[in-house]
Structure 1
Amino acid sequence: MIFFCFLGIEEVKAKELNQEEIYQQRMNLYKKTEALTSIPWYYLAAVDQFERSIRDVRDDLPDPPAIIGYYLPPEQWAGPLNPNPQDTNPITIELFSGVGKDGNGDGKIEQTNEEDLLYTLAHFLRSYGVDDQSFRLALWDYYKRDQTVRSIMTNAKIYRTFGKVDLREKAFPLPKGYNYTYKNTWGDRRGWGGRRIHEGTDIFAGYGTPVRAIAYGVVELKGWNKYGGWRVGIRDVNNTYHYYAHLNGFSKDLKIGDVVKPGDVIGSVGSSGYGPPGTSGKFPPHLHFGMYKDNGIREWSFDPFPHLKIWERY
């Protein structure tokens, strides 16, 4: 009776954690694992956040728990030939070539234990080294997908720059005080350059209206596209790609690889596109804002309009 009551209390406590406490617990675990293994906390956070982001949007993976999102299949954790996929015995897990490790010294290797999970991840990364080049190589050997490597390296760069994991802050793409209008046009037909759908929301505003980054992220793309004109692409820690198109120009010194935060000005509203570099004026000035989600296998567009309505209130 006492045992089951205790479990119930622990479940309630876990459910009662607010978002700030969850972020604090994550950071505490990252820092503790860093102290044990010398793997920088932002590498651990980068992989963990990527795993959390893909588990949120995939049906073939279990939903992530509150604190740590890193996931390994049971057959990999306990060993491919282990008759007990839920095995917690370090001796038999090693015997069957399982990758799970005991991170808290309790003599058990538990896939649901956050310290064991992070220690297992750190043990793998440490076999390659503790610098960016070694980290990138480890990611490639593990995921074997260029975009996944780029996404995780983006996470690491953002976490290292800002020194925190609570990066929920957002900003509307246009500053307060400027006149603008927009409606939900995602999925509408587009004819120029062939039949295609509109993968974004058009925010109409005057020439030169500042365009801002909506989230913490890294500039992944900058330049000309015959459809989008002068455009910028920024990826955030949720593995969401933000696409800003038809710009009048870019902010001074903005370049690929730059780290940005919500509210940073990245360019201005224009009417560029629908032709070779420099083409402008074929439509009223507006910002085309698109959002794309990557699930570790493929990337697709989704409707940004509901998000814009929320960010507009900030």
Structure 2
Amino acid sequence: MHEKRMELYRQVEAATQIPWYYIAAVDQYERNVREARRDLPDPSGTAAIYIKPEEWSGLLNPNHSDNNPASIQFFQGTGFDGNGDGKAQLENDEDVLHAFAQQLLSFGTSHDNIRIGLWNYYHRDKAVGIIMDKAKIYKHFGRLDLDSHAFPVPLRSNHSYKNTWGDARGWGGRRIHEGTDIFAGYGVPVRATGYGIVEMKGWNKYGGWRVGIRDINNNYHYYAHLSGFSEDLKTGQVVKPGQVIGGVGSSGYGPPGTSGKFPPHLHYGMYKDNGYSEWSFDPYPHLRMWERQERIQSKK
């Protein structure tokens, strides 16, 4: 599937001069959004960009199943014949990708122009930021297969954890625990769990020294109560599974520098963006799976 998608992205790049990683980023963003929402159909083809039938054919077009490029253009629809077969078909991956590319192309092919084109399409700053970051990740690694993971602390470290998602928390007001606590020694390395980009780094009165990393699947990974950060870690940096980003600590629950109000541990949270909002979900099953996968891999 990754090979088929890359072939499509390269075809669009050759025809439009829009770098493939921007097309890949949009397609992946839409795939993640469609999988997270019930008001959109699940992606079924190689590509996942969703265009409403009435927008494809033209809002005033009496035939929303129209695949004639001439009539679609007459009614100012977005449909486009991307594979040269004389039809603009919403069910055809090439046509859909080229149709979206045409909308970006009207603004230009530079980094800044593509950002403007994305904002004109989504009208949401966060969506634009996520897509541009995905493009940066794809460009950095030069491939689409970026689904492997690592456990957030070294397996050889003395650590323990259980499912604590949803537990009550009292400091700073009544709230629930949006994550899993992994207890380990002070300074034990904390590692990125997947391919992603550092979206946030700094202090939070609840989480202390913390890092936020957005992965290729729209998941936001939150690492809190750190003892500090890796020296070279910075916002906007691309990371890979197992890369050290900081150390286990006990920071938080007060102004910057507050530490020691609880035993050293890593608070690990996961959040999902669906194109409208973002919410937390239980990371415990993922942690168990990644730990098991890494142990199996280490024995090979």
Whether TM-score is above 0.5 comes out as yes
1:253, distance to aligned residue in structure 2 (A):
1.6
Matched residue, 2:264: 285
Q: Counterparts of 1:131 and 1:264 in 2: how far apart (Å)? A: 31
Q: Counterparts of 1:284 and 1:66 in 2: how far apart (Å)? A: 49
2:130 matches 1:151: yes
Alignment of 1:18-97 (within 5 A): 22-97=1-76
Q: Percent identity?
A: 66
Runs of 4+ aligned residues of structure 1 deviating over 2 Å after TM superposition are none
Matched residue, 1:105: 84
Aligned residues: 293
Matched residue, 2:190: 211
SS at match of 2:145: coil
TM-score normalised by L of structure 1? 0.92
- Cα contact 2:81–2:95 (8 A) shared by 1: yes
* Structure 1, gaps ≥5 residues long: 1-21
Q: Counterparts of 1:210 and 1:126 in 2: how far apart (Å)? A: 44
2:157 matches 1:173: no
Pick one of 107, 120, 124 that aligns with 1:141: 120
1:135, distance to aligned residue in structure 2 (A):
1.0
- Cα contact 2:45–2:93 (8 A) shared by 1: no
Matched residue, 1:15: none
Q: 1:216-246 CA distances to partner (integer Å, 9 max, x unpaired)?
A: 1110100000000000000011111000000
Structure 2 letter corresponding to 1:253: D
- Cα contact 2:35–2:42 (8 A) shared by 1: yes
Structure 1 letter corresponding to 2:107: Y
2:287 matches 1:305: no
Structure 2 letter corresponding to 1:50: Y
Q: Counterparts of 1:275 and 1:240 in 2: how far apart (Å)? A: 27
* Structure 2, gaps ≥5 residues long: 295-300
Structure 1 letter corresponding to 2:26: V
1:66, distance to aligned residue in structure 2 (A):
4.0
Q: Counterparts of 2:97 and 2:89 in 1: how far apart (Å)? A: 11
Q: 1:170-218 CA distances to partner (integer Å, 9 max, x unpaired)?
A: 1110112101000001011000000000000000000011000011111
SS at match of 2:36: coil
Structure 1 letter corresponding to 2:17: S
TM-score normalised by L of structure 2? 0.97
Q: Counterparts of 1:121 and 1:91 in 2: how far apart (Å)? A: 18
SS at match of 2:148: coil
